[in-house]
Amino acid sequence: MRRRWSFILGIVLLGMLPLRAANAAAAPAAPVVLVIGDSLSAGYGLETGAGWVALLQKRLHDKGLDWRVVNASISGETTAGGMQRLPALLQRDHPRVVVVELGGNDALRGLSLAATQSNLRSMVSACQYFGARVLLVGMRIPPNYGPAYTRGFEQIFPRVARLQHVPLVPFLLADVVGHPDWFQADDIHPTAKAQPVMLDTVWPLLEPLLRERRGGRK
């Protein structure tokens, strides 16, 4: 009798294996936080895994937050380029949170402030329409183009954040610019030593968005 029941139990357990495999396959994937930025987020001049976005993935894991970070940042990217790439990224990754870190290259090229603002608003609106929560990351520039342009550029980010009702990191390099030795030889791109500080600048505004687990538009 015991052998018979053992045989029956074995058949039942074997029959459950495909069901368990199917359930595992159907398990929802980790939600995505998409970072779309320029060289400051792409990790220009750094070893793989040393940039602040890569460190973000490690921090999420260490804190037990089940998120997958997708870094869609490209060195030299402008707001116009980001706006063109964004729809495909939203369709591909279905992010619940999007970090927009763009604008610095617009200013370095002396591009229209009105166009930069319009592009950023369009990007934020697209993310919101898709159902994603957005964190806008601001930038500041040296006064190479005169005080009016410099001041106007800086004002873009709080204006877009206010109009689109999204949180803002005022200046990604706020706690880095005071350390000249934290920059690479070009005096533009931060070294590996600065990356944890940059993450600490972003984290207080980003963490609440990651803990708010609403579903996004599919």
Active site residues: 39, 186, 189
* Angle value at C-alpha 134, between 128 and 136, nearest 5 degrees: 130
Distance CA 19, CA 25 (A): 10
Asked if residue 100 lies in contact with residue 36, where contact means CB atoms within 8 angstroms, the answer is: yes
